[in-house]
Amino acid sequence: MSPYGYHFTMNDESCYPTTVSRYPAAFMLPPEFVGMEGRRRGRITYKVTLRLSRQGAKLSPTERNSLLAEMEQQLTEMFVALSRSERVAVVENLTIRPVAGVVDHHGAIAMEAQAKIETIF
C-alpha cells in the first residue's frame, strides 16, 4: 500500500486498468530511460508516469471535481517527496492532468502525472 491508502501496481500501459484490483489505486508505468551522463559517477534520467484512480461512478459533478483536485494535490506531494530522496538530483517538467473519458467499466476517475526524474549514481 502506498501513501494516502492507494494500492500500488506497476505494469505496462496495455495492462491498465485490468491490473487494478481495488480502489483507490496507484498505477505506474515502468520508468522510461531518457539519458545518462558519466561512467562511474553520474546521472541517469527517466520519464516517470503515475496514475491515481478512485471510484467515481456515483459521484455528483461537484464531488468528482473535489476528488480530482484532491488527487492532483496528492500527486504533487508525492513528486515533491520524491525530489527530497537522497538519490534523486531533480524532478522536472511535472505535468498533472485528468485522464479523459471512462477509465474502466466501473466508472473510475483518474489523474495522471508525468515528470523527468534525474537520479545520481
CATH topology of domain 3-120: Alpha-Beta Plaits (3.30.70)
Residue-wise pLDDT tens digits, 44-71: 999 999 999 999 888 899 999 999 999 9
**Which residues on neighbouring strands pair with residue 32, listed in sequence order?**
47
- The DSSP symbol for 6 reads P
Q: How far apart are CA 94 and CA 73, in angstroms?
A: 13
pLDDT of res. 19: 77
Sign of the Cα torsion 110, 12, 8, 105 reads positive
User: pLDDT value at position 94?
Assistant: 98
Domain ranges of the chain: 3-120
pTM for the predicted model, two decimal places:
0.89
Per-residue pLDDT band for 18 (boundaries 50, 70, 90) equals confident
pLDDT cut 70: percent of the chain above it = 97
Cβ-in-10-Å burial (0-12, 13-18, 19+) of 25 comes to buried
pLDDT of amino acid 102: 63
